[in-house]
Amino acid sequence: MSKDKEIKKQLRLFQTFLTNAYVFLRLIAVNKDGFRDQIGNLNKKFGLGHDRGNQKTADLAYAFKNQVVFFNTSVEILNSWPLKKKVEFIRDIDKFLLKNNLGAEWKLTMIAFLITGSLLPPASNLNIGDTEDEFKKRRVVLILNPDTSLEDIKKQWDTISEKQKKLWPDFKKTSLRETSFPNLKKFFKTEQGRYHLTDEEKWPDLTPYGRMMAKAGRYEEVVKSRRFSKERVKPLKTRNKKTYVELAREINPVKNRKKLKKQANILAQLKRRTAEKV
């Protein structure tokens, strides 16, 4: 990413950071649904108490620029707690967020605010996660807030794209072109022809009687009979598909080997191009 693009990206994120700071401070100021009182109760319960807050993060530009440092400090302190206290603290924060209609993206904000008094609102207005179904298939999940806008999603698109690439590093997006459907139709026709073999093509080395018995699933009887009479008997080898050269010859019979090979390569490439997009 170029320097200019990175600056623009950080400015967009800072705008959301400021908006969420305002939302948080307004909730404290008006004490909506006892928001401020709930924070006071959490401070009291866990012996915290940062009534005046961290003055360094009062400068929101400074807080945004150094938020990773502040978050790390908060998490280090949290991890130093006894396990039982830490688990209960996280559980209470989750309840607090649900009760006050705040998304999961506010979780680190509340941890930092309660433990160190640092005001570090999320720089997003949605939560980006991932989930896994019973078949172990992964999906990126966006959890939107009541006021999440298309612009909020656009601001986080780099993060969303990075998560997609991490989950599916080899995935290739399908691009629909004028040739897409004709090529798919041609692919269907080619593959059907490739696996549609006559009895002579399936068992080219057998006699008509041998092919009849092989088709009926009774070729083993032929083997036993001929072995009993000490005759030579050919093992059953069934061809399941034609080569692309054979298909090319059927589609457009040509005697020139180079042209035939070229047509066969085109058919093979058609399958590779179609299959790699799935």
Predicted confidence band of residue 64 (pLDDT cuts 50, 70, 90): very high
Polymer length in residues for the chain: 278
Q: Give residue for tokens 């036993």.
A: 224
**pLDDT above 70 (res 50):** no
Residues 6 or more apart from 17 whose CB is under 8 A from it? 60, 64, 121, 122, 123
Give the pairing type, strands 126-132 and 138-144.
antiparallel
For 118: left if phi > 0, alpha if psi spans -120 to 50, otherwise beta; the answer is beta
Predicted confidence band of residue 251 (pLDDT cuts 50, 70, 90): confident
pLDDT at 213: 84
Predicted confidence band of residue 172 (pLDDT cuts 50, 70, 90): confident
Q: Write the DSSP assignment of the chain as a string of letters.
A: --HHHHHHHHHHHHHHHHHHHHHHHHHHHHTGGGHHHHHHHHHHHTT---TT--GGGGSHHHHHHTHHHHHHHHHHHHHTS-HHHHHHHHHHHHHHHHHTT--GGGHHHHHHHHHH------S-SEEEEEEE-TT--EEEEEEE-TT--HHHHHHTHHHHHHHHHHH-TT-------TTHHHHHHHHHHHHHHHH---HHHHSTTS-HHHHHHHHTT-HHHHHHHHHHTT---PPP----S--HHHHHHHHS--S-HHHHHHHHHHHHHHHHHHHTT-
**pLDDT above 90 (res 119):** yes
Q: Give residue for tokens 């607090």.
A: 96
Determine the average pLDDT of the residues in 244-269.
76
**pLDDT above 90 (res 201):** no
Predicted confidence band of residue 259 (pLDDT cuts 50, 70, 90): confident
Contact 49, 43 (CB under 8 A): yes
Q: Give residue for tokens 């589609």.
A: 251
